[in-house]
């Protein structure tokens, strides 16, 4: 096969393998030239992200430090086996299939080559790799569930993988919370992201099953600026600088071997009362965020990336950035330097019947939409938990947002070619 | 303002109006150059579709004959007013706001210019028009609801806007079915599509409220080929040719004045048992569709657009394209020439607890995903209803698909500049 392996379409790959001809006799080959050309001009959308970590240097999973893709599909799985070997086999299958799909290949060969009972579902055939990344994590219940050490791994549970404390205002729905394992696919195409998770779920049959899922989207302006969330504000302006990732994002020597280079993911499905929010005047919305709506600048500042002046006061002596504003409470300087890498997506699950909790009270069909908040950190105790404990009590934004689900997962370091994700846990 | 009005970003527009400076003092102007350049290279994604129909020739709404965008957000609304003038005012607001948003502008000015209680939510600021189209339709209950002629329009109900018959196998959920009005936004960006519907819902406050919504996606291969649905098959291979739209899609002289140039939309939310489907071997799947999975060719044919030979038999005398295959039952030649314009999207609402209806039976978390089937036709009685009545009884695909919601709506002809959608109903 010619050309860069990180830049070809699924269709091209299939044709190259002769699969198309075998499974129906269709003349797919005729389309390859056009596809290759289209790929070449489609810019970032068509490209592939590497799945395996480089042989040298730190090994990380994808979709964390990767520049954010425009779509995600997140799934939490529960293991339904008691056999350690089943888990190992699952991780091997997931690793190999993920690596294939990241290149734009099907998860496994399509019949008739494939004698297995099932095969890639085919809905991503012809679509480019779309910068697909897949990362895999372990929840606390992976190690011990209902007091049971199913896989002889209880002693391997990292200290940092704590049982998530209950926060003020939490309304977590058990069916949408937790999970033994996490799988997150990110891609510049929603069909590619869902396809990837669906293949892993299929390959997990009788070993693991989906507990909950959430699709998300985040549209970046064409000038590469910060995307806006559904509240209409820029989301992600303040994130750790890349040189600080070793300090803030990646687990270090304090962690077990298999976690060094890994990270801890906190996921929270945050429903936003958009109908209420839309009734608020812009100056009030800006007080809630502590930022200007249009520019994203901190109040009192002029540009998005201006440093916030938390000491500034107005003529009446009130803080320019309110004491209970979201941004003030979240800022590292107000949290002993605590930082997390945020990589959030908006979600939209349609509408359902909800009672509003803000006047004018109304009960009716309201958006089940908001933020799929995803953050990555070296240790959740000094990251999300530390920061959010305070925010859950004082953030004025809490009038508009409700945490309805989520989970905490340990994402081991990335696999190098020949390894599988989480391999270090089983040696 | 310089440049083509159908090719600028929301951010550019805001800056041009000086709104950014007024609402926070941010120097947004600095970004315009980069945005314009990015727009210019982003190809189709950044472009605008016209909202108003041309002054000459037939007037159609957008998003029907428009080349399909990659995302949709569909919403059905119920009117909560008894006043005819409220409905007129709503249609005027929706028309004007839709026209603005199609150009990449906010639905209405953002504070402080806007003295109204509410304003554009801002989540699409900085995003290009993304080929946004918005169309608006009227359901049967718009004309008569619970026996009541709320707006003096009962006599204007088109004959073709029938009460949808119950079909074999229907499991329509009332809360996700019907509606007095429909709004469909399509765009090459999910955030732009949802933003558009959300603005119309906000502007409808106290006049209409959302009944149900559904987001959808359809990813086309970069070579422009037919997109695949979640069953992994190409979806939309056979559609009426453009010269036939006047015969098949657009309402003609048989329709009331205000509907001539309009069309009837049948929406069906079709849940697919993906977990089951994924256990089926490719040859069986191909029998279900009557087409090859990879190429999309009709069975017995070689290429996607080959004409199906429904008379072909195999060595045993069986039909090559099975009698109960989806494609045979849907084909115009087997339905007295009946045709519809299909413009379907995949949907994915996560997972919920479902009992499988195909062995090996299992109850558990399964995808609430499938097809948001949308078709447009000159008359549903000779279009969808005629075709689907037979398919609902005999299509072997029914083992895997369940219709769980939908509606029928009359989409009036498009508005010309200075008109509002549906204006002809009120004269």
Residues of A with Cβ-Cβ distance to B20 under 8 angstroms? 294-295
3-state SS of chain B: helix, strand, coil percent to 5?
A: 30, 20, 50
| Residue B288's pLDDT band (cuts 50, 70, 90) | very high
**Three-state DSSP state, A370:** strand
From the CB of residue A46, how many other CB atoms can be counted at a distance below 10 Å?
25
* Dihedral angle of Cα B149, B152, B153, B156, to the nearest 10 degrees: 110
Query: For residue A58, what pLDDT is reported?
Result: 86
Higher pLDDT, B55 or B26: B55
Query: For residue A215, what pLDDT is reported?
Result: 97
Cross-chain CB nearest to A295 (options B26, B127, B304) = B26
Query: What average pLDDT score do residues B248-273 get?
Result: 97
The residue of chain B nearest to residue A75, with distances taken between CA atoms, is: B350
Question: Domains along chain A?
Answer: 10-150+173-227+417-426 (3.30.70.1030)
Query: For residue A109, what pLDDT is reported?
Result: 80
Packing angle of the helix pair B190-203, B84-102 (nearest 10 deg): 150
Q: What's the DSSP call for residue B319?
A: B
Residues of B with Cβ-Cβ distance to A128 under 8 angstroms? 222
Cross-chain CB nearest to A230 (options B31, B123, B125) = B123
Query: For residue B10, what pLDDT is reported?
Result: 42
Query: For residue A353, what pLDDT is reported?
Result: 82
Percent of chain B residues past pLDDT 70, beyond the cut: 86
Contact yes or no for B351 and A127 at CB 8 A: no
Query: What does the radius of gyration of chain A's CA atoms come to, in whole angstroms?
Result: 23
Query: For residue A210, what pLDDT is reported?
Result: 95
From the CB of residue B51, how many other CB atoms can be counted at a distance below 10 Å?
25
Residues of B with Cβ-Cβ distance to A303 under 8 angstroms? 26-27
Q: How does DSSP assign A172-220, residue by residue?
A: --GGGB--SEEEEEEESSHHHHHHHHHHHHHHTTTTEEEEEEEEEE-PP
Single out the residue of B151, B399, B132, B391 nearest to residue B275, CA to CA. B399
Cα–Cα dist B325/A284, whole Å: 59
Cα–Cα dist B297/A12, whole Å: 18
**What length does chain A have?**
427
Sign of CA dihedral B223, B229, B232, B235: negative
- How many angstroms separate the CA of residue B364 from the nearest CA in chain A? 9
Helix (H) or strand (E) holding A99: helix A84-102
Contact yes or no for A111 and B229 at CB 8 A: no
Cα–Cα dist A226/B403, whole Å: 40
Query: What average pLDDT score do residues B291-317 get?
Result: 96
Q: What's the DSSP call for residue B113?
A: S
Single out the residue of A49, A303, A29, A382 nearest to residue A188, CA to CA. A49
Cα–Cα dist A328/A369, whole Å: 25
Whole-angstrom CA distances from B132 to A1, A157, A225, A389 are 39, 49, 21, 41
Query: For residue B111, what pLDDT is reported?
Result: 58
From the CB of residue B355, how many other CB atoms can be counted at a distance below 10 Å?
9
Query: For residue B358, what pLDDT is reported?
Result: 63
Residues of B with Cβ-Cβ distance to A221 under 8 angstroms? 9, 11, 35, 38, 126-127
Query: For residue B106, what pLDDT is reported?
Result: 96
Cross-chain CB nearest to A210 (options B213, B231, B365) = B365
Query: For residue A355, what pLDDT is reported?
Result: 76
Phi, psi of A44 (to 5 degrees): -60, -30
Query: Is residue A182 within 8 Å of residue A76, measured between CB atoms?
Result: yes
- How many angstroms separate the CA of residue A191 from the nearest CA in chain B? 6
Query: Is residue A265 within 8 Å of residue A411, measured between CB atoms?
Result: yes
Q: Which two tokens stand for residue A203?
A: 């390959």
From the CB of residue B189, how many other CB atoms can be counted at a distance below 10 Å?
24
Q: Give the number of A-B residue pairs with CB atoms closer than 8 Å.
A: 251
Number of helices (H), then strands (E), in chain B: 11, 9
Query: What average pLDDT score do residues B286-315 get?
Result: 96
Interface-testing mutation among B350, B353, B359, B369, with chain A (most A C-beta atoms within 10 A): B350
Task: Give me the helices (H) in B273-335, please.
Answer: 274-277, 282-289, 326-330
Residues of A with Cβ-Cβ distance to B39 under 8 angstroms? 222
Could you tell me which residues come within 8 angstroms of residue B426 by beta carbon, excluding any fewer than 6 positions away?
B84, B88
Contact yes or no for B295 and A117 at CB 8 A: no
Query: For residue B55, what pLDDT is reported?
Result: 85
Query: Is residue A371 within 8 Å of residue A272, measured between CB atoms?
Result: yes
ipTM: 0.89
- How many angstroms separate the CA of residue A40 from the nearest CA in chain B? 10
Single out the residue of A356, A177, A163, A138 nearest to residue A256, CA to CA. A138
Query: For residue B308, what pLDDT is reported?
Result: 96
Query: What average pLDDT score do residues B177-181 get?
Result: 98
From the CB of residue B18, how many other CB atoms can be counted at a distance below 10 Å?
12
Query: What does the radius of gyration of chain B's CA atoms come to, in whole angstroms?
Result: 23
Cα–Cα dist B31/B22, whole Å: 17
Q: What is the pLDDT along chain A (427 residues), one digit of tens a residue?
A: 333 333 334 433 333 333 333 333 332 222 222 333 233 334 455 799 999 998 888 899 999 999 999 999 999 999 999 999 999 999 999 999 999 999 999 999 875 556 677 889 999 999 999 999 999 999 999 999 999 999 999 999 999 999 999 999 999 999 999 999 999 999 999 999 999 999 999 999 889 999 999 999 999 999 889 999 999 999 989 899 999 999 999 999 999 999 999 999 999 999 999 999 998 989 999 999 999 999 999 999 999 999 999 999 999 999 999 999 999 999 999 999 999 999 999 999 998 888 766 666 677 788 999 999 999 999 999 999 999 999 999 999 999 999 999 999 999 999 999 999 999 999 8
Phi, psi of A348 (to 5 degrees): -150, 105
Q: How does DSSP assign B140-180, residue by residue?
A: HHHH-BTTB-TTS-GGG--TTSPPPPPPTT----GGGB--S
Interface-testing mutation among A42, A108, A122, with chain B (most B C-beta atoms within 10 A): A122
Cα–Cα dist A89/A79, whole Å: 13
pTM for the whole thing? 0.89
In this predicted structure, the answer to whether residue B6 has a pLDDT above a threshold of 70 is no
Write the burial class of residue A155 (CB in 10 Å: 0-12 exposed, 13-18 middle, 19+ buried): exposed
Question: Within a 13 Å sphere around the CA of B392, how many CA atoms are in the beta-carbon half?
Answer: 17
Q: Which two tokens stand for residue A15?
A: 């044709």
Single out the residue of B9, B24, B3 nearest to residue A225, CA to CA. B9
Q: Which two tokens stand for residue B376?
A: 């447009």
End-to-end CA distance of chain B: 36
Single out the residue of B62, B71, B72, B69 nearest to residue B44, CA to CA. B69
According to DSSP, the residues that pair with B136 across neighbouring strands are B183
Angle at A338 between CA A333 and CA A344, to 5 degrees: 105
Q: Which two tokens stand for residue A385?
A: 């938990």
Cα–Cα dist B377/B340, whole Å: 5
Cα–Cα dist A321/B389, whole Å: 62
Question: Within a 13 Å sphere around the CA of B289, how many CA atoms are in the beta-carbon half?
Answer: 28
Query: What average pLDDT score do residues B91-106 get?
Result: 97
Whole-angstrom CA distances from B126 to A111, B7, B104 are 45, 13, 9
Contact yes or no for B110 and A282 at CB 8 A: yes
Higher pLDDT, B355 or A174: A174
Cα–Cα dist A371/A385, whole Å: 18
The residue of chain A nearest to residue B203, with distances taken between CA atoms, is: A278
Cα–Cα dist B122/A219, whole Å: 13
Task: Give me the helices (H) in A190-308, please.
Answer: 190-203, 245-248, 274-277, 282-289
Cα–Cα dist B56/B52, whole Å: 11
Contact yes or no for B215 and A350 at CB 8 A: yes
Contact yes or no for B282 and A110 at CB 8 A: yes
Cα–Cα dist A351/A215, whole Å: 15
Residues of A with Cβ-Cβ distance to B294 under 8 angstroms? 14, 19-20, 23-24, 26, 28, 110, 122, 125
**A106: cis peptide before it, omega within 30°?**
no
Question: Within a 13 Å sphere around the CA of A386, how many CA atoms are in the beta-carbon half?
Answer: 18
Residues of A with Cβ-Cβ distance to B44 under 8 angstroms? none
Query: Is residue A273 within 8 Å of residue A366, measured between CB atoms?
Result: yes
Number of helices (H), then strands (E), in chain A: 11, 9
Query: Is residue A182 within 8 Å of residue A268, measured between CB atoms?
Result: no
List pLDDT tens digits, range B43-66: 455 799 999 998 888 899 999 999
Query: For residue A324, what pLDDT is reported?
Result: 96
Whole-angstrom CA distances from B313 to A204, B318, B331 are 39, 5, 18
Cross-chain CB nearest to B127 (options A20, A215, A219) = A219
Question: Within a 13 Å sphere around the CA of B283, how many CA atoms are in the beta-carbon half?
Answer: 7
Query: Is residue A292 within 8 Å of residue B14, measured between CB atoms?
Result: no
Phi, psi of A78 (to 5 degrees): -110, 135
SS3 labels along B27-88: CHHHHHHHHHHHHHHCHHHHCCCCCCECCCCCCCCCCCCCCCCCEEEEEEEEECCCCHHHHH
Sign of CA dihedral A345, A349, A351, A353: negative
Contact yes or no for A350 and B346 at CB 8 A: no
């Amino acid at each position: 096969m010619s050309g860069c392996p990180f830049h070809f379409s699924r269709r091209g790959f299939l044709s190259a393998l002769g699969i198309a001809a075998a499974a129906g006799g269709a003349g797919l080959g005729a389309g390859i030239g056009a596809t290759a050309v289209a790929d070449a001009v489609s810019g970032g959308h068509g490209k592939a992200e590497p799945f395996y970590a480089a042989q040298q240097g730190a090994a990380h999973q994808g979709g964390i430090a990767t520049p954010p893709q425009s779509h995600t599909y997140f799934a939490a799985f529960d293991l339904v086996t008691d056999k350690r070997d089943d888990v190992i086999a699952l991780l091997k299958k997931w690793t190999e299939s993920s690596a294939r799909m990241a290149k734009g290949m099907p998860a496994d060969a399509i019949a008739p080559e494939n004698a297995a009972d099932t095969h890639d579902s085919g809905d991503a055939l012809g679509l480019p790799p779309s910068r697909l990344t897949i990362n895999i994590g372990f929840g606390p219940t992976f190690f011990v569930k209902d007091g049971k050490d199913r896989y002889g791994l209880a002693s391997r549970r990292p200290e940092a993988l704590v049982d998530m404390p209950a926060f003020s205002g939490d309304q977590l729905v058990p069916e949408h919370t937790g999970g033994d394992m996490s799988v997150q696919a990110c891609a510049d195409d929603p069909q590619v992201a869902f396809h990837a998770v669906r293949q892993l779920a299929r390959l997990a049959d009788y070993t693991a099953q989906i507990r909950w899922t959430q699709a998300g989207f985040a549209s970046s302006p064409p000038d590469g600026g910060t995307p806006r969330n559904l509240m209409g504000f820029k989301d992600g302006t303040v994130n750790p600088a890349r040189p600080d990732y070793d300090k803030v994002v990646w687990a270090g020597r304090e962690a077990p071997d298999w976690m060094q280079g890994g990270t801890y993911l906190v996921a929270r499905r945050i429903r936003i009362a958009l109908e209420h929010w839309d009734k608020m005047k812009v100056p009030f919305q800006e007080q809630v965020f502590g930022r200007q709506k249009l520019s994203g600048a901190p109040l009192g500042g002029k540009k998005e990336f201006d440093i916030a002046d938390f000491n500034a006061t107005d003529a009446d002596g009130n803080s320019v950035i309110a004491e209970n504003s979201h941004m003030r409470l979240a800022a590292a300087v107000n949290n002993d330097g605590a930082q997390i890498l945020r990589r959030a997506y908006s979600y939209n699950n349609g509408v359902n019947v909800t009672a509003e909790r803000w006047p004018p009270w109304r009960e009716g069909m309201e958006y089940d939409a908001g933020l799929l908040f995803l953050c990555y950190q070296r240790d959740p105790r000094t990251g999300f938990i530390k920061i959010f404990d305070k925010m859950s009590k004082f953030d004025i934004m809490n009038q508009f947002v409700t945490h309805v689900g989520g989970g905490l997962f340990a994402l081991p370091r990335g696999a190098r070619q020949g390894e599988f994700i989480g391999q270090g846990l089983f040696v």
